[in-house]
Structure 1
């Protein structure tokens, strides 16, 4: 194994990698002023975008959860990689060769563990797909697809393959390609028995499951043979270092562009349903991978949909019309509060799934199914009402109680009266009676989950996780204090546009100008970083400030670097105009000057009766200070 990646190579990776391009793989971004882009944070649930990037300096920051950093830290966190693995992945994407300290070379073959596992899955996908197209034994798989309206072009488009029945075919192929037994078992491609390794999937049709970037990280396998020893119709990759089923959505790599552009996601129940939707023109379709749709899936889609309080986004769930489908719909409804916008449900006639609907009624029917979806609220209410007999008084009372909690939990209070009136009509009761039941309905829907604590920024070279040091952390600046706010606004400019302030003006600003200790630490760190010349290297600038600050102020520096400056700015660069900077400077210069004037006035009062000579000296000094203050203020006019 190689040693630590050389620091100059780490910087070169950052220089050659666009933080915007990497972030867009996970977050839909919109313009947020000059030089800034924003979107929904990938690291916590939020309804209003607070995740911001500044491509010019290669930084990102979330004002909601406080996370931030450079492109390497983003890849670390979003893909759960070590520092070294993140650098190696970005270097591979940029076509760079890395060099390692301590005399070591690149790790075999220049990739980390995750990259090796991903590569093994890529090779496995090719193997399975070739077997589907060429193998005589795979005819059963080809027939399965053909019967459902999928030809060889469709199989190739979605990477569908066939796992041979032999039991060791894939293992043998991966060995020939240089993969170890540990890599095969760790990645879930093989199991280990008393006679050695065996293929995890045998005699099954397989779909590659890819993450949002398009890397294949697992497989879903469909039973084809009646004598298959594993009775389950579908068998999925088990949890591995690269496969987390609660975070993955089948087809998302293909659907993300359509989801982002149209701001509509369609959630179906199976792999063939995803294929049918895409082929029918519904290119925003995805499916879960062997698990129920959950909170992590909501978070993933919301980031891409830009599902915020402003509205405009839509998620459509398709369910079978049977009892299982209704149960799945109600589980989805329990998550409805996690969406900022409204979600919808589409149920095909006769309970057909999208794949069956396309076979029997064509592509137009699939598109109409999605377009005619009804609000999730309406579907949930009708599902609950279907469980009672509305022809009886007892059934109507039970129906009111069942649906009252749903109405009470509608996010938009202006919609509740109309829905109350509508549901009263469905049940056949007086609207006042329905309104009374809704008013006293117990709260029942789950609240949005708390944000999980996250690790702090990794060490820039070694990738070590820093340990918290509560005893040395400075209190957060109280921006309600005007003098503290002044220092904060000035540091925004200094951190974001260090060359916009003339050195002779900057060096008139003193530490004492900053009331908050954390601001003082950032100011010292920024001056030190300026002297080192780091301002001429945008990708190093923020880290240089953090490293030079005399106390841990990482989060504050990230915040200052990413906040929008509330002033007239250059539409291209985002740099504030000269008058704004001059105003901040003179007000900062005033602060210590006013303190000196107050001290002098106090001293004059103490000695004016007892020491006339000393009083005269102080009075002259005080007059000079007041004149200086007047001149300063004139610069702001």
Structure 2
């Protein structure tokens, strides 16, 4: 995939690229605001990198970041655009061609257009009346792509057959029933359900006629190769960019609620389709909001204030560990959903509903306490024992003390007693936490004691990443230049790699990249000053990225692969860099040895002093040799 897709073709619809020399292209970065182009694309290596914000990667990661797609979605998008056929392997080892997926999505696209056309016909008047009664005009229907499934039973089937689709393809798409070729949706109002990139995955349909043979008010497309109800969210195509921009997602309960929210100005609203909001839905939203928004981002759930709404809130609370953002609940006092609220009180009321959100923990805690008689001592104790584990499980540890205090106020109990009960809850069960977002300093200094200021949300420790080197650190410029040559032109180094050793690199990230480059290049044989026959720059970079096995190292690798070299490189230039890097370590060794000589008494420790002097002469000889080799490096 990476070898067959030109990265400049992928990037150019988003960025105006201009040639900048050395086979690279430049433009304004699409990931941050800038006036001077610092975004560079290198087609020969299939990579992009921004020297302003540090974003970098290949065609797949570019689509992932720009369109907020998962890895699989980005690969499928590129495959569809490039005519590449993917092969899927299920848990049982069975394979399926990506052509099936393309045929399903194409059938869905045409079906959505067909349904939308039918909504304007005379038979769809019942559907138009329903929309009008819910406060949606024709413009709103067109904006959300709403359609009507005719009552004839085979209208869609016949339409798609004229477009070249076979019955078995339509059955696999969930558009036609297996027995008899009847349309899956008949006499219903239809909403297209799209992925983040706007591809139609399936449909949701509402009952309109009393004689509908399907008793359920709402039905959805059956599970297909592209439609998995636990992996789709209605409105995601429209809310994708606002969610990423605002670091907020609002989860409502139905299609018309999503419409009402968006039309009222809450453009981050989405809804699950035919199933309760679950773990996979949470992952989708967390990906859109972004891991870096752990302290600012929020997910707001709208629930009815009745028992069903409270039960739904408790279920979401139990899955709250899937978010690193803060979770909230917005409950309308009258029990209205966003659509009813918009009808009765207007657009502003919907925006105010979201604005009045309360933390999910507090909402659940209040509902748990409400089940007990707080006028009785035993009722207060029972309520405390029921609510304390909830407080103890709060993911954001900085909120535990505050909520324990609030719980004591609600119950009218002593704060110390509440804190003791919460502490017991912390010890009795595992704490729900998210991934650790704290980095690691590049130095051996001891970690300072924590400040008494409010802590950041406490999260599970993830894999410890290598530290990011400062590209402007003058102490590391030779290391950076050497690794840059190892990444871009590894064949220029002598068979012994100029005498380079891992210890020559002080920074662990540069050390990792140098070791990876040497190991990967070994498959081409010893370097001899010329680019090996059959050397593929794109494949070379992919092997390096896989060998890094560290997100920070990969980020530095991409930057070094596209940074222009100071001059046209040759073997002498590469050897000079290797010598200059080794010279740094030799100078340090000489300085250390001279200090030891000064501290050693030549009479009392004559043998030791003599050996150190001999070693010093050897180091000085090595330094002269390295100085002679290093003159080709530009200062």
Classify 1:178/1:405 alpha carbon distance in 2 versus 1 (closer, same or farther; 3 Å).
same
**Alpha-carbon separation, structure 1, partners of 2:136 and 2:59:** 40
Q: Contact conserved, 1:582 with 1:636, CA < 8 A, in 2?
A: no
Alignment of 1:45-84 (within 5 A): 58-59=46-47, 70-71=58-59, 78=70, 80=72
Alignment of 1:112-151 (within 5 A): 112-134=99-121, 136-151=122-137
Classify 1:202/1:276 alpha carbon distance in 2 versus 1 (closer, same or farther; 3 Å).
same
* Alignment-derived partner of residue 323 in structure 2: 339
Deviation at 1:350, TM superposition (A): 1.0
> What are the superposed Cα offsets for residues 232-258 of structure 1, whole Å, 9 maximum, x if unpaired?
221111211111222211101111121
Deviation at 1:122, TM superposition (A): 0.9
* Alignment-derived partner of residue 278 in structure 1: 262
Alignment of 1:490-509 (within 5 A): 492-494=483-485, 498=488, 509=497
Q: Contact conserved, 2:46 with 2:538, CA < 8 A, in 1?
A: no
**Alpha-carbon separation, structure 2, partners of 1:187 and 1:180:** 11
| SS at structure 1 position matched to 2:328 | strand
Q: TM-score, normalised by structure 1?
A: 0.69
Bigger CA drift: 583-592 or 346-355? Answer: 583-592
| SS at structure 1 position matched to 2:277 | coil
| SS at structure 2 position matched to 1:208 | strand
- Verify: 1:168 aligned to 2:154, yes or no: yes
- Verify: 1:370 aligned to 2:346, yes or no: no
Classify 1:505/1:532 alpha carbon distance in 2 versus 1 (closer, same or farther; 3 Å).
closer
- Verify: 1:422 aligned to 2:397, yes or no: no
**Alpha-carbon separation, structure 1, partners of 2:564 and 2:392:** 48
Bigger CA drift: 356-365 or 196-205? Answer: 196-205
Alignment of 1:281-300 (within 5 A): 281-300=265-284
| SS at structure 2 position matched to 1:554 | helix
Deviation at 1:260, TM superposition (A): 1.7
Q: 1:522 aligns with which of 520, 523, 529?
A: 520
Deviation at 1:407, TM superposition (A): 1.4
**Alpha-carbon separation, structure 2, partners of 1:11 and 1:624:** 51
| SS at structure 1 position matched to 2:497 | coil
> What are the superposed Cα offsets for residues 415-464 of structure 1, whole Å, 9 maximum, x if unpaired?
222221111111121111111110101326656699xxxxxxxxxxxxxx
* Alignment-derived partner of residue 91 in structure 1: 82
> What are the superposed Cα offsets for residues 283-329 of structure 1, whole Å, 9 maximum, x if unpaired?
11111111221222222212222243652212111111111111111
**Alpha-carbon separation, structure 2, partners of 1:289 and 1:331:** 17
> What are the superposed Cα offsets for residues 477-514 of structure 1, whole Å, 9 maximum, x if unpaired?
x989xxxx999966742365x27x9x877788347635
Deviation at 1:376, TM superposition (A): 1.2
| Higher RCO structure, 1 or 2 (CA under 8 Å, sep 6+) | 1
- Verify: 1:627 aligned to 2:624, yes or no: yes
* Alignment-derived partner of residue 462 in structure 2: none
> What are the superposed Cα offsets for residues 398-419 of structure 1, whole Å, 9 maximum, x if unpaired?
2111211121122333322222
Deviation at 1:395, TM superposition (A): 2.0
Q: Contact conserved, 1:314 with 1:341, CA < 8 A, in 2?
A: yes
* Alignment-derived partner of residue 556 in structure 1: 548
**Alpha-carbon separation, structure 2, partners of 1:78 and 1:211:** 11
| SS at structure 1 position matched to 2:181 | strand
Alignment of 1:203-602 (within 5 A): 203-308=187-292, 311-441=295-425, 442-443=428-429, 492-494=483-485, 498=488, 509-510=497-498, 513-514=501-502, 518-524=516-522, 531-532=531-532, 541-545=537-541, 554-556=546-548, 562-564=554-556, 585-586=578-579, 588-589=581-582
**Alpha-carbon separation, structure 2, partners of 1:36 and 1:408:** 46
Q: Contact conserved, 1:529 with 1:545, CA < 8 A, in 2?
A: no
| SS at structure 1 position matched to 2:174 | coil
Q: How many residues align?
A: 520
**Alpha-carbon separation, structure 1, partners of 2:43 and 2:251:** 33
**Alpha-carbon separation, structure 2, partners of 1:445 and 1:128:** 49
> What are the superposed Cα offsets for residues 354-379 of structure 1, whole Å, 9 maximum, x if unpaired?
00000011111001001111111111
Classify 1:148/1:620 alpha carbon distance in 2 versus 1 (closer, same or farther; 3 Å).
closer
Deviation at 1:519, TM superposition (A): 4.6
Q: TM-score, normalised by structure 2?
A: 0.69
**Alpha-carbon separation, structure 2, partners of 1:185 and 1:259:** 34
Classify 1:115/1:561 alpha carbon distance in 2 versus 1 (closer, same or farther; 3 Å).
farther
Q: Contact conserved, 1:60 with 1:70, CA < 8 A, in 2?
A: yes
Q: 2:9 aligns with which of 8, 16, 24?
A: 16
**Unpaired segments ≥5 residues, structure 2:** 16-29, 50-55, 86-96, 437-464, 468-475, 504-511, 568-573, 591-614
* Alignment-derived partner of residue 602 in structure 2: none
Classify 1:267/1:55 alpha carbon distance in 2 versus 1 (closer, same or farther; 3 Å).
farther
**Alpha-carbon separation, structure 1, partners of 2:403 and 2:322:** 20
Deviation at 1:212, TM superposition (A): 0.4
Deviation at 1:339, TM superposition (A): 2.0
- Verify: 1:157 aligned to 2:143, yes or no: yes
**Alpha-carbon separation, structure 2, partners of 1:399 and 1:582:** 74
Deviation at 1:532, TM superposition (A): 4.9
